[in-house]
């Protein structure tokens, strides 16, 4: 991982990303691209979307390459603020070299954790992972074999508040940007969720909105569905109702018992979660009114 | 179609199918295969399934080729009855030459009807279609261009009973075996449904059990799903809760408005319904406790 | 169709599209967006791609809404030419109201033709179709039932030159922009292909580059593949080697005989071809070095 | 793994499987099922297929549960031999408790190896893996962390014979039933392949028969395909021409560079290989004339 990280940061030292949401009107793209052109930035990738060309909401993601970006960071932020005010923009400017810091929460099912760490190790999931937190000790050895600290916080229904205090302290200490719930089987309190709004990514083991809540595979089996699914979404205070980032499905048949659905489901869960996390880390997602725009 | 029909019947004059459900126990397959062997029948395809090898329910579908089947029909039925009693079998014996008689019900959306009739015309959906019934006149020309009678029964919420009387009379007159609801937008009364139990196939325009009921695409759009679906199922008196026969899905994204979901959905709806109908016609489906075994 | 056409043209009377290919360098997007902003055009959708941010080739597709577009057409073309020269652009400006004119070529297999005409009739394939040309008379009734002229040009190996003379004359008379080979089973001469470079869309019944040439399903069966496919591509003078626009696949198994592969294949062929044609008509495709960029 | 293994063997101590290939004729199923019934065996799953009902080749796979199977093994083999002679059967009788012994061959790309070992550890790939052989030392630590011996045999073009001598000795010592080439980048000699006919499973990183041979992703990129694939097959002495077991695909687009194809491809490669290996281990595959029947 260390070499991958270094190479990536070197390769991306002049790479920036702009994510913008604002009321639609003519001239937005012109203003942004002039700003970038003025700083000698070359637009590498640009995607935009309007809910409605006549008076809707406008979204854009621009990835650019800008010589000497390091030295221009502050100036660019300041100058762009003027444009942003003019167009009432909600905006974020990311410098790709500054890696996101992710904490993974896990319980006893380790397939999603494994996939995340293997992708991380091979350099395909480019973030820093300062710690893994679990309410069970099972994953300890596996996590530590990657050189990542593992913290056992024995959270359960009865000690939710105290456990979250400890977790929040850890998250702050490690300056965490994004929390990945890799089949973490505890419900978070509303205070916790609000502290990390649009920054907690969950994987739900069903094709939402089918089978919200507990034991989705058992219920899928009982209903006799012919396709099962998994859904990655941002966590909000409505259980399994947050903005959907990604979904995928797999065909099953009458021979598949609940155990088979679970095994097949694991394969979808891990790939759906990893895709969602990568999009988040690549600043590809804008949340708008309980939906996601994924550029 | 006429030539396809004749060729098919000629090719299948010695072809039979056995569908059996019974309590599982050793010796079932031996008994059936001895019976078939005794009649010089060659097993062409055989599929079986047990809910649980120790004391569960056993299902089997056998397709066989039997010389001079025509002349043996009655004897075979009588003789098999003895075996069936011994093993407490629920069974059906079909002769492939005797085509199923299907009635199609449709409203204003014609894509499923079109697909069914085009498949029928090309000989890929091998059934007789003595009539199409609709509560709107829109499909008249199209249906009649295939030489199939079209009956306009203007059913709606207020005249349900009378409309169904007329429909039931038509179904009886034409000796209908199976009813295909090809986006027929009227709810059927429980009496109607019970008269054709496990013989009414519906297409619902969502990935059930998500979005049961009306306007599924609008609700899928509101929820921001990343995949839409369609579900074909047998109709029971619980709305959209009947045994699922087949489902399929299609990826969508944030750019897709409700209209786009509908357009994309049509492509899935028609193929899912056609697959389900073909499996029914090929006697591939056994219904068991609100689920389907599809062999 | 007529109503759909009228509504579409009314809805899109101010809608334009720019497609550009040029050497990559900073300032391109700024120049284009300033130009559009100057004409009070609002960018509705914009997609871009560079083969390589440092000195590669840059591609962009912009869809915009511009008040009084009708009256600005010529001025815009002239003014944009100045920008285009500066950046050495290869560019096209389309006005959405001006529908493309498509000719469909077909032989005996009609499933692709059917899908195209049904999509056209329902307003989902928004082009004008002034004629269908076939080397067999089979499709005549079906085509004419849509009010579209059908011309039987009995082309074969031996009369290729004369047949193409007649076809080219028809294409010119009807001012055809794009030719759709909907399972047209004749090879075109190089002269014909060059006359309509990047304007002839073919559907090949295999997952290219597997099974180039004749009888792909027979060869797929012989090889024992577990998945079959279809490929839509622009026609060049290298058989089945032109730029691929779209592909799709379907799972098969050992039970599927050649006939089953063909039946299953039809379903993919028709949907792949229709998607490719729609992207072409929506000006979503840029051809670059025997590949397509599909925005 | 140890606990999974023990539980599995306990659960399957009475479970057997019959795989049969023979000329088709009436009475085969009757003979087999009578034989099983006579031994009080209950048929759990049965699948059959004929290349042609009239005089073709007949294939069947039967999984059965038989009380005191342990004590009946020899008798059953002897008795079945009589039936087999009568019908000219090519047959195998497997006892599920007797696990297959697999050797994994790997080079530098470890994603397939990882997936295999993780599935093995979780009890989802139920075989014994007595050793992993590699021509590079890279996988040593990972393999040994599972308690599996790792042997570095530095095979290359120039020492093929000697390297294979060493490998064959290891395979014999460990009584290996099946060899899994998990992205093993050396070509095997014909002697080696013949020694393990229908027992060497390879993963090729393309959708065969497209891109046979070296560097398939580079060639897929050059051709501009819109879908990439992976193929698992039994190894024969015709490079990448052996019987295909399983294939899968993934959509790509013009943005994907060769490196992206490789990353995306890894996800398909590993899942396709694992599926193929599981089917082999579950005795689901019959090879017939360079094709597989997968029951």
Average pLDDT over residues B129-147: 95
Residue from A30, A260, A194, A79 nearest D282 by CA: A260
Give the distance from residue B191's alpha carbon to the nearest chain C alpha carbon, in angstroms.
36
Q: Which residue has the tokens 């190479």?
A: A7
Per-residue pLDDT band for A3 (boundaries 50, 70, 90) equals confident
**A87 touches A58 (CB < 8 A):** no
pLDDT reading at D151 higher than 70: yes
* Percent above pLDDT 70 for chain C: 99
Do D43 and B28 make contact, defined as CB atoms within 8 angstroms?
A: yes
C interface test, pick of D226, D241, D251, D294 with most C CB neighbours within 10 Å: D226
Residues on A contacting C at a C-beta cutoff of 8 Å: 24-30, 32-34, 36-37, 40-50, 53, 65
Give the distance from residue C188's alpha carbon to the nearest chain D alpha carbon, in angstroms.
22
**A24 touches A56 (CB < 8 A):** yes
Which of B114, B263, B271 lies closest to C118 in CB terms?
B114
Mean pLDDT value across chain D:
95
Do B267 and C263 make contact, defined as CB atoms within 8 angstroms?
A: no
Confidence (pLDDT) at B246: 98
pLDDT reading at B1 higher than 80: no
pLDDT digits (tens, 9 = 90+) for B37-94: 999 999 988 999 998 867 799 999 999 999 999 999 999 999 999 999 999 999 999 9
User: What is d(CA C178, CA D196) in angstroms, rounded to the nearest whole number?
Assistant: 55
What are phi and psi for residue B33, nearest 5 degrees? -70, -30
The length of chain A is 295
Catalytically active residues of C are: 240
Dihedral angle computed from the Cα positions of residues B133, B135, B140 and B146, in that order, rounded to the nearest 10 degrees: -20
C interface test, pick of D52, D198, D209 with most C CB neighbours within 10 Å: D209
Residues on B contacting C at a C-beta cutoff of 8 Å: 111, 114, 118, 124, 145, 263, 267, 271
Question: Which residues lie closer than 8 Å to C236 by C-beta, 6 or more apart?
Answer: C193, C197, C242, C243, C290
Lowest mean per-residue pLDDT among A237-251, C48-62, C168-182, D279-293: C48-62
pLDDT reading at B143 higher than 90: yes
Do A225 and B246 make contact, defined as CB atoms within 8 angstroms?
A: no
Residues on D contacting A at a C-beta cutoff of 8 Å: 111, 114, 118, 122, 124, 145, 263, 267, 271
Angle at the Cα of A108 from the Cα atoms of A263 and A269, rounded to 5 degrees: 40
Strand bridging mode C200-204 / D178-181: unpaired
Q: Please, where are the H alpha helices in chain A?
A: 2-11, 28-38, 69-86, 111-121, 140-144, 160-173, 190-195, 216-223, 258-281
Per-residue pLDDT band for D168 (boundaries 50, 70, 90) equals very high
Confidence (pLDDT) at C26: 86
Confidence (pLDDT) at A89: 98
pLDDT reading at A90 higher than 70: yes
Options D240, D248, D256, D283, the catalytic residue:
D240
Do C47 and A42 make contact, defined as CB atoms within 8 angstroms?
A: no
pLDDT digits (tens, 9 = 90+) for B148-173: 999 999 999 899 999 999 999 999 99
Average pLDDT over residues A206-222: 96
Domains, in order of start, for chain A: 2-95 (3.30.70.260), 101-294 (3.40.50.170)
User: What is d(CA D201, CA D179) in angstroms, rounded to the nearest whole number?
Assistant: 6
Do D207 and C207 make contact, defined as CB atoms within 8 angstroms?
A: yes
Do C209 and D224 make contact, defined as CB atoms within 8 angstroms?
A: no
Average pLDDT over residues D135-163: 94
pLDDT digits (tens, 9 = 90+) for A13-32: 999 999 999 999 888 999 99
pTM: 0.93
User: What is the distance in angstroms between the CA of the first residue and the CA of the last residue of chain D?
Assistant: 27
Average pLDDT over residues D178-187: 96
Return the partners of chain D (3 or more C-beta pairs < 8 Å).
A, B, C
pLDDT reading at C2 higher than 90: no
Confidence (pLDDT) at C203: 98
Confidence (pLDDT) at A52: 82
Catalytically active residues of A are: 240
DSSP character at residue B106: E
Sort out which chain B residues have CB atoms less than 8 A from C122's CB and list them: 111
Q: Please, where are the H alpha helices in B122-252?
A: 140-144, 160-173, 190-195, 216-223
Sort out which chain B residues have CB atoms less than 8 A from A244's CB and list them: 223-226
Confidence (pLDDT) at B52: 82
Per-residue pLDDT band for C140 (boundaries 50, 70, 90) equals very high
**A29 touches C33 (CB < 8 A):** yes
- Its ipTM equals 0.94
**C279 touches D213 (CB < 8 A):** no
Cβ pairs bridging A and D (under 8 Å): 9
DSSP-assigned beta bridge partners for residue B97: none
Give the distance from residue B184's alpha carbon to the nearest chain C alpha carbon, in angstroms.
19
pLDDT reading at B294 higher than 80: yes
Give the distance from residue B158's alpha carbon to the nearest chain A alpha carbon, in angstroms.
32
Dump the DSSP string for C61-76. EEEEE-TTHHHHHHHH
* Percent above pLDDT 90 for chain C: 93
**A168 touches A195 (CB < 8 A):** yes
A interface test, pick of B226, B231, B243 with most A CB neighbours within 10 Å: B226
Give the distance from residue B161's alpha carbon to the nearest chain A alpha carbon, in angstroms.
31
Confidence (pLDDT) at A53: 66
Per-residue pLDDT band for B292 (boundaries 50, 70, 90) equals very high
Per-residue pLDDT band for C1 (boundaries 50, 70, 90) equals low
pLDDT reading at B273 higher than 70: yes
Dump the DSSP string for C111-126. HHHHHHHHHHHTTSS-
pLDDT reading at D173 higher than 80: yes
Nearest-Cα residue of chain C relative to residue B142: C145
pLDDT reading at C49 higher than 70: yes
Confidence (pLDDT) at D1: 65
CB atoms within 10 A of CB A9: 15
Reduce the secondary structure of chain D to three states and give it as a string: CHHHHHHHHHHCCCEEEEEEEEECCCCHHHHHHHHHHHCCCEEEEEEEEECCCCCCEEEEEEEEECCCHHHHHHHHHHHHHHHHHHCCCEEEEEECCCCCEEEEEECCCCHHHHHHHHHHHCCCCCCEEEEEEECCCCCHHHHHCCCCCEEECCCCHHHHHHHHHHHHHHHHHCCCCEEEECCCCCCCCHHHHHHCCCCEEEEECCCCCCCCCCCHHHHHHHHCCCEEEEEEEECCCCCCCCCEEEEEEEECCCCCCHHHHHHHHHHHHHHHHHHHHHHHHCCCEEEECCEEEEC
Lowest mean per-residue pLDDT among A154-163, B192-201, C14-23: A154-163
Sort out which chain A residues have CB atoms less than 8 A from D124's CB and list them: 263
Residue from C163, C205, C165 nearest C181 by CA: C205
**A233 touches A242 (CB < 8 A):** yes
Do B37 and D25 make contact, defined as CB atoms within 8 angstroms?
A: no
Q: Please, where are the H alpha helices in B128-238?
A: 140-144, 160-173, 190-195, 216-223
pLDDT reading at D2 higher than 80: no
Average pLDDT over residues A202-226: 97
* Percent above pLDDT 90 for chain B: 93
């Amino acid at each position: 991982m260390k070499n991958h990280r270094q190479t990536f940061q070197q390769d991306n030292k002049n790479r920036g990303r702009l994510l913008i949401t604002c009321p639609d009107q003519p001239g937005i793209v012109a203003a942004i691209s002039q700003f970038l052109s003025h700083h000698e930035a070359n637009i590498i990738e640009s995607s935009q979307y309007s809910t409605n060309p006549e008076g809707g909401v406008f979204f854009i993601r621009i990835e650019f390459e800008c010589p000497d970006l390091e030295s221009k960071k502050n100036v660019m932020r300041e100058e762009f603020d003027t444009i942003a005010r003019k167009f009432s923009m909600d905006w974020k400017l990311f410098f790709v070299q500054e890696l996101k810091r992710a904490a993974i929460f896990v319980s006893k099912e380790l397939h999603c954790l494994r996939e995340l760490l293997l992708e991380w190790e091979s350099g395909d999931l480019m973030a820093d992972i300062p710690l893994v937190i679990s309410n069970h000790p099972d994953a300890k050895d596996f996590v530590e074999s990657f050189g990542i600290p593992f913290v056992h916080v024995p959270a359960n229904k009865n000690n939710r508040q105290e456990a979250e205090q400890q977790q929040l302290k850890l998250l702050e200490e490690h300056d965490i940007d994004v929390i990945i719930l890799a089949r973490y089987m505890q419900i978070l309190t509303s205070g916790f969720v609000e502290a990390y709004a649009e920054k907690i990514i969950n994987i739900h083991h069903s094709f939402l909105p089918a089978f919200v809540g507990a034991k989705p595979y058992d219920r899928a089996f009982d209903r006799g569905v012919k396709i099962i699914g998994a859904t990655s979404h941002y966590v909000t205070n409505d259980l399994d109702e947050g903005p959907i980032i990604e979904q995928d499905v797999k065909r099953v048949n009458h021979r598949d018992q609940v155990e088979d659905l679970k095994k097949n489901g694991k394969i979808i869960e891990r790939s759906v979660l990893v895709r969602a996390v990568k999009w988040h880390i690549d600043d590809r997602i804008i949340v708008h009114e309980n939906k996601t725009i994924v550029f």
